[in-house]
Amino acid sequence: MQVEVPEYTVAEDVAVDPSRTALIIVDMQNDFVQAEGALPIEDAAATIGSIRRLRTFARDQGMSIFYTQDSHYAGDPEFDLWGEHCTVGTPGWQVVEDLAPDEATGDLIFRKDRYDGFFGTNLETTLRQREIDTLIICGTVANICVLYTAASAAIRWYHVILPIDAVSAINEFDLQLTIRQVGWLFRGTITRSEALRASDE
């Protein structure tokens, strides 16, 4: 069955206040990104370049850079749904080398055991302490961990920016539904990684 996708706009110029904006890189771990990973997302590797562009922009502007890291232990009930993946301490659990967090520079990693980066983490507390009100969210999987992190952000009144070249899904429908929910329901900004700039530049 085919269905018509509601129209949306891709913003060509997006200015953010670096002191109130964070970049969140969702689940870019070997198990999702590498072809030999436990749950490979075919299009994820192709987003690394765009995510690196976002990270360089964030680093240059002194923005907060946060990673979510899907993190499970033996016996996790998610293994019944998806098979074993992202087991703490395994290579598949590590963020891909090209995007490795730099904790010395202040990058923070939020381990989570469900789709939503706010669920069972101190992400919200951290955002409030830093007086951040805008989140650039990228990574994988679009309609899973990216979308539910964006949903929890939007319900708490954070503004969400979704650079679609930095997000990967397992099919076109899932990518389009993510755009629909973020762009229409959450009133987020749909854009591309090269469109971002600092508001004071």
Query: Which residues form the interface with a second copy (CB under 8 A)?
Result: 1-6, 73-77, 81, 106, 108, 112-116, 119-126, 128-129, 143-144, 148, 151, 155, 157, 171-174, 176-177, 180-181, 185, 187
**CA distances in angstroms from 88 to 28, 69, 103, listed in the order given:** 14, 10, 18
**Residue found under tokens 């004071």:** 200
Question: Distance (Å, rounded) from C-alpha 5 to C-alpha 174?
Answer: 11
Contacts for 129-132: CB closer than 8 Å, 24+ residues apart:
130/22, 130/64, 131/19, 131/20, 132/20, 132/21, 132/22, 132/64, 132/158
Nearer to a second copy, 75 or 97 (CB): 75
Nearer to a second copy, 96 or 115 (CB): 115
Torsion of CA 136, 61, 103, 109, to 10 degrees: -10
Nearer to a second copy, 37 or 117 (CB): 117
Shortest Å, Cβ 166 to a second copy: 20
Shortest Å, Cβ 111 to a second copy: 8
Shortest Å, Cβ 22 to a second copy: 14
Question: Distance (Å, rounded) from C-alpha 112 to C-alpha 32?
Answer: 15
Question: Distance (Å, rounded) from C-alpha 182 to C-alpha 189?
Answer: 8
Shortest Å, Cβ 201 to a second copy: 25
Nearer to a second copy, 28 or 144 (CB): 144
**Residue found under tokens 């964070």:** 22
Nearer to a second copy, 147 or 196 (CB): 147
Shortest Å, Cβ 45 to a second copy: 22
Shortest Å, Cβ 47 to a second copy: 20
Sign of the Cα torsion 136, 142, 143, 146 reads: negative
Nearer to a second copy, 17 or 174 (CB): 174
